[in-house]
Amino acid sequence: MIKVAVMGHGVVGSGVVEVLSQHVESIAKRAKEEISIKYILDIRDFPDSPFADRFTKNFEDIVNDDEVKVVAEVMGGVDPAYDFTKRCLLKGKSVVTSNKELVATKGAELLEIARENNANYLFEASVGGGIPIIRPISQCLAANDVIEIAGILNGTTNFILTKMIRENMSFSDALSMAQKLGYAEKDPTADVEGHDACRKICILASLAYGKHVYPQYVHASGISNIALEDVAYAASWGGVIKLIGQVKKLDDGTLDITVEPMLIEKNSQLANVDDVFNGILVRGDSTGDVVFYGKGAGKLPTASAVVADIIDCVKHLKARKYLYWTDGDGSIVKPYEQTVYPIYIRVGSTLDKQQVFDKVTSLFRNARSIVRTNAPENEFAFVTDDMTVSEQMNALAALENDGIKVLSKIRISDL
Ligand code: HSE
């Protein structure tokens, strides 16, 4: 029998305990060992839990118990999860986690400590919740050069955008609904401003390209400035707006990696990934496009991925899973200002339409206007051909100088 500990008894942690205790026999068959929870770490009391006798508030109980071979860290955040994970790995215990913030900021170091201590550090649940994506990239697609990964990696923002697109609901109403349904946190910043999706695309990029890509080097913007007007223009252009995390390997070896709202065509595989679902497209040189779709968050889907990692660790107690990347710095990331893509822009101006159009066509490459029904007289929207971000910024500044107010600017994706 293998003893494990679960650190954190929130949504995911309680799900891990539930899955482990409700599937004892089938898990034992798959792991070839019975798995038993020896400790559950949480600062809160759970006197009514059927596992009340396993709770501890003291991490030392876990790290100093040689019987505990595998630890699930499902606490979230960097502190104290980083310290706890490091100390468990240094003791040769394998650690599995759903903690995307920790993997995205400390992954290279923790993977190295795991390697040095002949332990495993697995994090299938950190991206895409219950969707298998880490193992497929590191194992099943290992024969491929990954050309590109692009995905809807955040369920909360996808829910909000879906409400805006399908029900014409404003951003703030859709956010309130997401909060009521328990998808969005009381402080929704990490989701709506793209930080959560950024951590996830950094993890996928690090895995695919073998060097740690830190979130601080990656341009991330969210959906809080998306208006219903933009949703309507996107529809008349022939697509939808989605928050996309994307990484592409460029010919010069750098990565075009960003998180931002993008206009994507209706017939793209990601255009119909709606509500809280996630969809991740991996473009391999041999496989072509492979798309992963499913529930990217939630108690049981995420717990299922954590427990699968626990089983994998139990099966590999004396061996190491090849899941590894080395440390990196910002040099692998193409500076955002140098990235190239076409854009959609919406402006407001009291100048007459022809004057605005003339100005726009002189500043932007191949600008074509798009229309929406019931647009006010002073609104004008257009799409362009490829431009570098710095060219875009200069042209936008020139518009503002001429009294033309830039209301929105959204990347047009080639997905
Ligand atoms: N807040 C995240 C989301 C949870 O909405 O996708 C899963 O990582």
| All residues at 6 or more sequence positions from 60 whose CB lies less than 8 Å from its CB, including other chains | none
Give me ligand 1 centre to Cα 22, in Å.
25
pLDDT at 394: 98
Regarding the beta carbon of 297 and ligand 1, being less than 6 Å apart is answered yes
Cα gap 81→246, rounded to integer Å: 27
The one catalytic residue in 106, 200, 249, 334 is 200
213-240 burial string, b = 16+ CB within 10 Å, else e? Answer: bbbebbbbbbbbebeebbbbbbeebebb
- How far, in Å, CA of 294 to CA of 279, rounded? 7
User: 155 CA to middle of ligand 1, Å?
Assistant: 5
What is the reported pLDDT for 144? 87
Average pLDDT for 40-45:
97
Please calculate the CA angle 52-54-57 and round it to the nearest 5 degrees. 95
Check residue 27 and give its pLDDT. Answer: 97
Q: Tokens standing for 143?
A: 């024969």
Question: What is the fold of 135-295?
Answer: Dihydrodipicolinate Reductase; domain 2 (3.30.360)
Q: CA–CA separation, 156 vs 132, rounded Å?
A: 19
Is residue 321 very low, low, confident or very high in pLDDT (cuts 50, 70, 90)? confident
pTM over 0.85: yes
Average pLDDT along the chain: 96
Q: Is the CB of 154 under 6 A from ligand 1?
A: yes
Q: Decide: 260 in ligand 1 pocket, CB within 6 A.
A: no
Report the atom number in ligand 1 closest to the C-alpha of 197: 6
Structural contact between residues 158 and 272, judged by C-beta atoms closer than 8 angstroms: no
Q: Which residues pair with 255 in a beta bridge?
A: 249, 333
- Neighbouring CB atoms inside 10 A of 299's CB total 17
> pLDDT of 118-162, one tens digit each?
999 999 999 999 999 999 999 888 888 999 999 999 999 999 999
pLDDT given at position 320: 83
Residue 341: enclosing H or E segment and its boundaries?
A: strand 340-341
User: What interhelical angle do 24-31 and 299-315 show, nearest 10?
Assistant: 40
CATH superfamily, domain at 2-130+299-315: NAD(P)-binding Rossmann-like Domain (3.40.50.720)
- The gap between the terminal CA atoms of the chain, to the nearest Å, is 48
Q: Which of 175, 191, 273 to mutate to test the pocket of ligand 1 (most atoms within 8 A of CB)?
A: 191
* pLDDT interval class at 357 (50, 70, 90): very high
155 within 8 A of 181, measured Cβ to Cβ: no
Residue 156 in contact with ligand 1 by CB distance below 6 A: yes
* Residue 56: count of CB within 10 angstroms of its CB: 16
Question: Which pLDDT does position 342 carry in this prediction?
Answer: 98
For ligand 1, atom 7, which residue shows the shortest CA distance? 297
Closest ligand 1 atom to Cα of 159: 5
197 pLDDT more than 90: yes
pLDDT exceeds cutoff 80 at 322: no
pLDDT recorded at residue 283? 96
Q: How many CA atoms lie within 13 A of 121 on its CB side?
A: 28
- Residue with the bigger pLDDT between 113 and 322: it is 113
Task: Return the ligand 1 atom nearest residue 154 CA.
Answer: 6
Tell me the CATH number for domain 337-412: 3.30.70.1150
Query: What are the residue ranges of helices labelled H in 238-283?
Result: none
- DSSP H/E element including 19: helix 11-22
> Mean per-residue pLDDT for 284-296?
94
pLDDT digits (tens, 9 = 90+) for 210-241: 999 999 999 999 999 999 999 999 999 999 99
Instruction: State the average pLDDT over residues 23-39.
Output: 96
Distances from the Cα of 398 to the Cαs of 302, 364, 367, 383, 410, in angstroms? Answer: 47, 11, 15, 17, 18
* Model pLDDT for residues 387-410, shown as the tens digit of each residue: 999 999 999 999 999 999 999 999
Name the CA dihedral angle for 164, 168, 173, 178, rounded to a multiple of 10 degrees: -40
Q: Catalytic site residue 200?
A: yes
φ, ψ of residue 282 to 5 degrees: the values are -115, 120
Distance 127 CA to ligand 1 centre (A): 9
Residue ranges of the domains in the chain?
A: 2-130+299-315, 135-295, 337-412
